[in-house]
């Protein structure tokens, strides 16, 4: 056996969902640039789940199904009010709430293809409501019911803030959802597949994935990027702050990616959206600071920004609380997790790798009074 730390370079399965080849990300063969510029998030959900783009009636049906299933059981919402709100990270709340959803689904243990697709719709619909409801409840506000006539991205922003969002906000958020929807066998997706490969239910698979996404080396990076920008505060402080970090060999969040050699192809879309949104809000400094940081880090370390770096200033410009950045990542990535879970179910084999043992050799048990 050969050992590869972090499974880097190991091909663990075959998949028809997404690919990263020569720094090009595709969903079912469609270049991410093409989808980011043209497709809605709902189209991408359908694409990932069905391996083709929807026709007009199919897209309308999916939108209706999502709208019809956004309501969350009251018991799930009530538990938020029991949490120590000032201590709970929204990702922890999301993890608990999604797990709880399975308790209210009479088909939770039904492993038929039809039942699993129904659960897929419910999960994708309800995750938006869970994240926005928690955000409001922890502020002492009541959750807002979705509007059936709004699309997925617009409904999320509406349920979060209570006002119907402007078109540029919808465009920015929808584009971010498209860009984050899937990313081959990333840590959380692999976690989901390992979980359901035991034939555990879809709620368990998604809950496991949320746990993996919560870490700062995966989904938590964009929150850390905004924390860094806030610590710097002003454009003229960028140079000294970043150079001190580099001199101390500290990691700058939002740069580099294990699977890309020449840069994350998703980053440029959020870079442009950050430029537009910060200018619209009169807060260009966040974009200007980000470009200065990019210039230094990429120039010094040859590390280009990844998708997390500019998503931070985009979400901030949309008025989203910083600790909601990772849950929003999850809202999008539910589509990819579910696609991989359904694919795993369709051609399943238990995922059970081996470990290269490096501990002591054969030992003899010694009675406790002789140790």
Catalytic residue positions, numbered: 257, 308
Residue with tokens 């088909």: 107
d(CA 242, CA 294): 10
**pLDDT on residue 270:** 94
**pLDDT on residue 75:** 96
Contact 221, 254 (CB under 8 A): yes
Contact 195, 304 (CB under 8 A): no
d(CA 211, CA 186): 13
Topology adopted by domain 221-317: Cytochrome p450-Terp; domain 2 (1.10.230)
**pLDDT on residue 66:** 97
User: Domain 16-216+321-346 in CATH: superfamily?
Assistant: Citrate Synthase, domain 1 (1.10.580.10)
pLDDT in tens, 16-26: 999 999 889 99
Cα dihedral 346, 347, 349, 355 in deg (nearest 10): -100
**Closest Cα partner for 15 from 371, 341, 362, 353?**
341
Annotated domain spans of the chain: 16-216+321-346, 221-317
Long-range contacts from 152-155, C-beta under 8 angstroms, 24+ separation = 152/40, 152/41, 152/42, 152/63, 152/66, 152/128, 152/177, 153/40, 153/41, 153/177, 155/67, 155/70, 155/128
d(CA 49, CA 178): 14
Q: What is the DSSP letter of 85?
A: T
**pLDDT on residue 221:** 84
> Looking only at Cα atoms, what is the longest distance across the chain?
77
**pLDDT on residue 167:** 95
**pLDDT on residue 256:** 78
End-to-end Cα spacing for the chain:
35
**pLDDT on residue 261:** 77
**pLDDT on residue 259:** 79
Pairing between β-strand 24-27 and β-strand 30-31 as defined by DSSP bridges: antiparallel
Residue 298, judged by CB atoms within 10 A of its CB (0-12, 13-18, 19+), counts as middle
**pLDDT on residue 147:** 95
Query: How long, in residues, is the chain?
Result: 371
d(CA 24, CA 264): 8
Q: Which residues of the chain register pLDDT less than 70?
A: 1
């Amino acid at each position: 056996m050969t050992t590869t730390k972090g499974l880097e370079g190991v091909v663990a399965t075959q998949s028809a969902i997404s690919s990263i080849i020569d720094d090009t990300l595709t969903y079912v063969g469609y270049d991410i640039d093409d989808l980011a510029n043209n497709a809605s998030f709902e189209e991408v959900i359908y694409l990932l789940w069905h391996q083709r783009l929807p026709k007009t009636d199919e897209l309308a049906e999916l939108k209706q199904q999502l709208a019809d299933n956004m309501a969350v059981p009251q018991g799930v919402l009530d538990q938020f009010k029991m949490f120590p709100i000032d201590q709970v990270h929204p990702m922890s709340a999301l993890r608990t709430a999604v797990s709880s959803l399975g308790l209210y689904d009479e088909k939770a243990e039904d492993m038929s293809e039809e039942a699993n697709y129904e659960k897929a719709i419910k999960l994708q619909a309800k995750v938006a409501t869970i994240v926005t409801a928690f955000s409001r409840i922890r502020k002492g506000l009541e959750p807002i019911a979705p509007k059936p006539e709004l699309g997925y991205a617009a409904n999320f922003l509406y349920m979060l803030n209570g006002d119907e969002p402007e078109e540029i906000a919808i465009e920015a958020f929808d584009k971010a959802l498209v860009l984050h929807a899937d990313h081959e066998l990333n840590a959380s997706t692999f976690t989901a597949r390992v979980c359901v490969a035991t034939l555990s239910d879809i709620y368990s698979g998604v809950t496991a994935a949320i746990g993996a996404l919560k870490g700062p080396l995966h989904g938590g990076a964009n929150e850390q990027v905004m924390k860094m920008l806030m610590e710097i505060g002003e454009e003229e402080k960028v140079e000294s702050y970043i150079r001190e970090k580099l001199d101390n060999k500290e990691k700058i969040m939002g740069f580099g990616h294990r699977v890309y050699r020449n840069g994350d192809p998703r980053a440029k879309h959020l870079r442009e959206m950050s430029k537009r949104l910060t200018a619209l809000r009169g807060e260009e400094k966040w974009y200007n600071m980000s470009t200065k940081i990019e210039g230094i880090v990429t120039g010094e370390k040859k590390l280009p920004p990844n998708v997390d770096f500019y998503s931070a200033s985009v979400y901030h410009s949309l008025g989203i609380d910083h600790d909601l950045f990772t849950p929003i990542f999850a809202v999008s990535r539910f589509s990819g997790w579910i696609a991989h879970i359904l694919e795993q179910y369709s051609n399943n084999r238990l995922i059970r790798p081996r470990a290269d043992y490096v501990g002591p050799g054969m030992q003899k048990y010694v009675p406790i009074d002789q140790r």
